Amino acid sequence: MKKYHVILFVLSLLLFSCQEKVQVDGELKKWHKITLSFKGPKVSENDDSNPFLNYRMDVAFSNGKETFLVPGYFAADGEAHITSASEGNIWRVHFSPNKVGEWSYKVSFKKGINVAVSDNSHGFESAGYFDGTEGVFYVDETDKDGADMRAKGRLQYVGEHYLKEAETGKWFIKVGADAPENLLAFDDFDNTPNALGLRKNWSAHAQDFSRDALHCLWGENADKGKNLLGAINYLSGKKMNAFSFLTFNVDGDDRNVFPHLLKVDLQTYEDSASQKKTYKRAWKELVHHTRFDVSKMAQWEQVFEYGTQKGMFLHFKTQETENDHRMDGGDCGVERKVYYRELIARFAHHPALNWNMGEENTQKTQQVKEAVDYVHSIDPYHHLIVLHTFPEQEERYTPHLGPESNLTGTSNQLKDTKFRDVHSRVVRWVKASAKAGKKWVVAVDEPGDAGHALMPDAEDELRIEARGNALWGTLMGGGCGVEWYFGYKHPHSDLTCQDWRSRDEMWEQSYYAAEFLRSLPVDKMFSKDELVAEGDYCFCQEGILYVVYFKYGTKQGHIDLSGQEGSFKGQWYNPRKGIYIDEEVKVVAGQKLTLDKPNNEDWVLKLMKH
């Protein structure tokens, strides 16, 4: 018998020997979700002793060289996405291994008042059952390919302006949808209200449902979720790789998305929360602050799992400006900590995501810092942590610059109708973070003004400003990518969109830009616009590679290579069609150059040292 099969046989015996205490599910492969489920105390969401606060499950996974301490959670009957159960005795942890080979695990299961959000579980009483359980399993290589994020590996912050795909070693450039922010306000999720009539059915994407999503359906008949899963399949089919969503908008713009348990029935909540101008007390009066809806969160996971399968970066917006002072008055106390712990325990295994500490955030610097530090301390994979704030308040980023901060990026919002403020903002924070000693991953997640931003295709056929100022403005400034916001003055807005086809043309142009950038050594390049005419962009590896974006409306382009020597050759790239033209460009450095563009539309010139 081959050595590999002997190992598997021995490990299977070990697993069998402890099967009464643990059930292992999922593909035992690198970067995949491996789920360990344990039978513990039978409790309910409303149990006298809060199961989300007064029990703490942590599992240490080790391969001998490194250890991941992963938080677990109360999973009701273990099938809550199907049964809608609110009680049970299943406790669960998800793990995403980063290496092939043998992994061991050891479980800690403690109980006590607020043990879940204590600095650690030392000194707390054992909760019995599976506390102290140990075991091993063997992890093989991933068998995924294509867009699937498990083929690319976890996106890692490695001290550069871009996240790196751990499996491929490539830099990640994101493009996708920032709207609708209330994506999770969906008919098919348990206990999701319809305040202000903003809940969605995503029926426009029923036609996009694919059989590769069958395993992600939920509900008693495993037939729920088709429309939203279809929407994700559509976006992936357009070769987008990101979408964002709020996970907490109580008392906010939409008011229908939150993982917390309601104190009242759904109709009472809807009636109250729909009084938009007069009623903003839902958090105070109608919602449990430290108890969660187990089945709803299990159903969210079905959507996120399909997103990972289809190559999606999951942008978790964990609060918004209207409610960023609801939990603990803005502090990082019990309410905020248990909320973040629940998100991380359930969803941090996904290989591509960021934790956004607040859309249009208004908390005090110290409050943000403490929340960032807490998330960093309990996320075993140290995913990207970003902050988003108003365009007029960008100085709020400054106190978080430098290596002492655990903030690793920005999620920028702009305000100019024609996106003319994008490029300079990106360049500013790319340079400022590098100068401070810790490079940030700088994204533009809300380009444009609140009322218009990225309008539907039917209202902006040419996409001149969106493409040139926002998309290429971001990428040529050293930004990691763009998520498109939809203005509220147009159909399919930030709150009302249920059809991503409304921006079909822009998805294609976004892909062309991202694919072009992926071919470059972006980690070695920087913005140097002084080499080109005002309004154009230059992104370069000085002396070796120059990429110039020449904007729409001129017949000629200019680049100053007077400080360089030798000859360069290159090609024109059409950003509207995503293709190079056959015409080769040859130039001699040491001078200021004037080049005839193929026509007066926008073009990208890639020049390399010959």
**Strand 73-74 to 592-596 pairing:** unpaired
* Pairing status of strand 242-246 against strand 313-317: parallel
d(C-alpha 356, C-alpha 178), whole Å: 12
Residues 171, 155: Cα–Cα separation, whole Å = 9
36-94 confidence digits (pLDDT tens): 999 999 999 999 999 999 999 999 999 999 999 999 999 999 999 999 999 999 999 99
* CA–centroid distance for 559 within its chain: 37
Would you state the structure tokens that stand for residue 517, as one six-digit string?
């950038």
Q: What is the pLDDT of residues 362-419, one digit of tens each?
A: 999 999 999 999 999 999 999 999 999 999 999 999 999 999 999 999 999 999 999 9
User: What pLDDT digit, counting tens, does each position of 189-221 carry?
Assistant: 999 999 999 999 999 999 999 999 999 999 999
Other C-beta atoms closer than 10 Å to the C-beta of 370 total: 17
Instruction: Work out the end-to-end distance of the chain between its first and last CA atoms, rounded to an integer number of angstroms.
Output: 56
Q: Kindly give, in sequence order, each residue whose CB lies less than 8 Å from that of residue 317, ignoring residues fewer than 6 positions away.
A: 181, 244, 245, 246, 247, 356, 358, 359, 388
Structure tokens at 33: 């979700």
Helices 294-309 and 226-237: angle between axes, nearest 10 degrees:
30
* pLDDT(581) > 70: yes
Helix (H, G, I), strand (E, B) or coil at 461: coil
Contact 202, 186 (CB under 8 A): yes
**Nearest Cα to 566, choosing from 546, 543, 583, 584?**
543
Residue indicated by tokens 């942890």: 93
Bridge partner list, 174: 481
Residue 384 bridge partners (DSSP): 354
User: Tens of pLDDT along 136-186?
Assistant: 999 999 999 999 999 999 999 999 999 999 999 999 999 999 999 999 999
Q: Where are the beta strands (DSSP E) in 32-100?
A: 34-44, 55-62, 67-71, 73-74, 87-95
Do the strands 441-446 and 481-484 form a parallel or antiparallel pair, or are they unpaired? parallel
Note the pLDDT of residue 243.
Answer: 98
Find out whether the peptide bond into 456 is cis, omega within 30 degrees of 0: no
By the 8 A CB rule, do 453 and 489 touch?
no
Helix, strand and coil in the chain, % to nearest 5: 30, 30, 45
Kindly state the tokens that stand for 558: 């200019």
- Can you tell me which residue has the tokens 């104190």? 263
Cα(373)–Cα(350) distance, integer angstroms: 20
One-letter amino acid identity for 338? V
Between the alpha carbon of residue 390 and those of residues 152, 396, 444, the distances in Å are: 33, 9, 12
In this structure, CATH architecture of domain 528-609: Sandwich (2.60)
CB 121 within 8 A of CB 110: yes
Backbone angles phi, psi at 30, to 5 degrees: -60, 130
Q: What is the mean pLDDT of residues 120-131?
A: 95
Q: Given a cut of 80, is residue 299 above it in pLDDT?
A: yes
* Rounded Cα gap, residues 448 and 422, in angstroms: 8
> pLDDT-derived band of residue 353, with 50, 70 and 90 as boundaries?
very high
Ramachandran region, residue 219 (left: φ > 0; alpha: ψ -120 to 50; beta: rest): left
The pLDDT of residue 11 is above 60: no
- Arithmetic mean of pLDDT over the chain: 95
Whether the predicted pLDDT of 5 surpasses 60: no
| Cβ atoms within 10 Å of 598's Cβ, excluding its own | 11
Q: Do domains 3-141 and 528-609 have the same CATH topology?
A: yes
The Cα 306–Cα 110 span in angstroms is: 33
| Contact between 508 and 529 (Cβ < 8 Å) | no
**Domains of the chain by residue range:** 3-141, 174-180+202-250+291-520, 528-609
In this predicted structure, the answer to whether residue 12 has a pLDDT above a threshold of 60 is no
Contact 250, 283 (CB under 8 A): yes
pLDDT at 278: 84
Structural contact between residues 312 and 347, judged by C-beta atoms closer than 8 angstroms = no
Three-state secondary-structure class, residue 299: helix
CATH 3.20.20.80 matches 174-180+202-250+291-520 = yes
Which are the contacts of 122, defined by CB distance < 8 A and separation ≥ 6? Answer: none
User: What is the structure's pLDDT at 604?
Assistant: 98
| Ramachandran region, residue 31 (left: φ > 0; alpha: ψ -120 to 50; beta: rest) | left
Can you tell me the distance from the alpha carbon of 103 to that of 326, in angstroms, rounded to the nearest whole number?
Answer: 41
Residue 573 bridge partners (DSSP): 580, 604
- Tell me which fold the domain 3-141 belongs to: Immunoglobulin-like (2.60.40)
178 neighbors 483 (Cβ within 8 angstroms):
yes
pLDDT digits (tens, 9 = 90+) for 449-483: 999 999 999 999 999 999 999 999 999 999 999 99
Distance CA 201, CA 185 (A): 9
Residue 498: its pLDDT value, please? 98
In b/e form, how buried is each residue of 436-445, taking b as 16+ CB within 10 angstroms?
Answer: bebbbbbbbb
- Where residue 20 falls among pLDDT bands split at 50, 70, 90? low
Q: What is the pTM of this model?
A: 0.96
Cross-strand pairs, 314: 243, 353
Q: How many CA atoms lie within 13 A of 529 on its CB side?
A: 18
* 480: amino acid identity, one letter: C
pLDDT band at 427 (very low <50, low <70, confident <90, very high): very high
The H or E element that residue 163 is part of is strand 163-165
Length of the chain: 610
Sheet containing 23-25: order of strands: 23-25, 34-44, 87-95, 73-74
Please, what is the Cα angle at 343 between 101 and 51, to 5 degrees?
100
Three-state DSSP string of 97-132: CCCCEEEEEEEEEEECCCHHHCCCCCCCEECCCCCC
- Per-residue model confidence (pLDDT) at position 276: 82
Tokens of residue 499, six digits: 């059809």
The predicted structure's pLDDT at residue 277 = 82
Q: For the beta carbon of residue 222, count every other beta carbon within 10 angstroms.
A: 13
The per-residue pLDDT for range 481-494, each reduced to its tens digit, is 999 999 999 999 99
Residue by residue, DSSP assigns 427-450 as HHHHHHHHHHTS--EEEEEE-S-S
Q: How many helices (H) and strands (E) does the chain have?
A: 13, 30
Per-residue confidence (pLDDT) for residue 8, from 0 to 100: 42
What is the DSSP-derived secondary structure letter of residue 359? Answer: B
pLDDT at position 175 is 98
Nearest in space to 386 (alpha carbons), one of 399, 402, 362, 368: 368
